Amino acid sequence: MNNQSKVETVEHTAINQRTITNSKESVTLKNKKKLKDAGLFALFVGPVFLAFTLIVLVPFFTGIYYSFTDWNGITGDIKWVGLDNFKYLFTEDKQFQQSFLLTTKYTVVAIILTNVIGFGLALLVTQKLKASNILRTVFFMPNMVGGLLLGFIWQFIFVKGFASLGELTGIPFFELAWLGDAKTAFWGIVIVSVWQGAGYIMIIYIAALQNVPQELIEAAKIDGANRWQILRHITMPLVAPAVTICLFLTTASSFKIFDANLSLTNGGPFKSTEMLALNIYTEAFVNNRYGIGEAKALIFFIVVAAITVLQVTISKKREVES
């Protein structure tokens, strides 16, 4: 019995040692796999994260620091002024306040028109038309032209083209001083921006409309539903996620409008069409008041971020309810 017990003890000891060895090998393999995964992650994500840090994060936090200084953007003399820049913007800088209100007005108008026209174009080209592919290309082409170039092209159209048409036809619409009057210049910027952006929004709506089950539409037609009822009660709820995306894109792009504003009117006449992005650019790089320009940019960032987050939250909630 004693010999048998000794043999069993030796066997148990050997088994335990093998178990411990296997466990250590398993832990070692897992650690190697984790290190390998971490290495691959760093290899693929590291360069992008480094570029993002150098191009976005560092300038962003540096800009926040400069917003509390009176730096002119050129010299090395940087003086900390605290909240003085922000007090100046909200109490004395009337042009900043005017630009902010004008940008808000423009954003509301551009969001509505761009989405309505984009959705209408998407409905048009998703019909069974022979020229639907050609129409998609034509409607999307303005989005491929740069904003500055597009603005200069439309500047020629508003100033020269419309004037010539007005002389030939006598139609008052073409005889307006489109870029010489504050009201018409504002609508000129809206026309160019919507004309450029509607085609891009159209593509997103097309993708959403093509995913609407045709069985539901056919069943609704059999039940006697007209086109408006089908659009309202079937199509719109099913394309709600696309509406959320398009509202987010148009909100962000409308608030940040710069190139069309610069090339069309350059803020004129008499700064009556100077949007917020152009106002910030002028303050920092034309007036050489970089600290105040950064303060404006920081306020601009906070407002745009808050509005877009609020818009996405409300839109997502409506998606769930519908």
Max avg pLDDT among 38-47, 53-62, 128-137, 214-223 = 53-62
pLDDT in tens, 92-123: 999 999 999 999 999 999 999 999 999 999 99
Domain CATH number, residue 243:
1.10.3720.10
Domain match, 88 and 59 both: no
pLDDT in tens, 139-180: 999 988 888 888 899 999 998 999 899 888 888 888 888 898
Domain match, 88 and 62 both: no
C-alpha Rg value of the chain to the nearest Å: 30
Domain assignment of residue 79, yes or no: no
pTM for the full predicted model: 0.83
Torsion angle of the four alpha carbons 89, 95, 101, 106, in this order, in degrees rounded to the nearest 10: -130
- State which amino acid sits at residue 285: F
Domain match, 198 and 228 both: yes
Opening angle at CA 87, ends 86 and 92, nearest 5:
110
Give me the mean pLDDT over the 269-297 stretch: 93
**What separation, in Å, do the N-terminal and C-terminal C-alpha atoms of the chain show?**
79
Domain assignment of residue 76, yes or no: no
Domain assignment of residue 73, yes or no: no
Element at 288 (helix H, strand E): none
Domain match, 60 and 201 both: no
Domain match, 10 and 142 both: no
**Which tokens go with 262?**
């610069």
Domain match, 45 and 93 both: no
Domain assignment of residue 75, yes or no: no
Domain assignment of residue 201, yes or no: yes
User: Total structural domains in the chain?
Assistant: 2
Domain match, 105 and 46 both: no
Domain match, 189 and 237 both: yes
Residue with tokens 């000794």: 6
Three-state DSSP state, 12: helix
**Which tokens go with 221?**
């037609």
Domain assignment of residue 72, yes or no: no
Round to whole Å and give the CA distance between 258 and 254.
9
Domain match, 163 and 274 both: yes
**Which tokens go with 182?**
């504050």
CA 234 from centre of chain: 28
Opening angle at CA 285, ends 90 and 255, nearest 5:
55
Domain residues for 32?
1-66
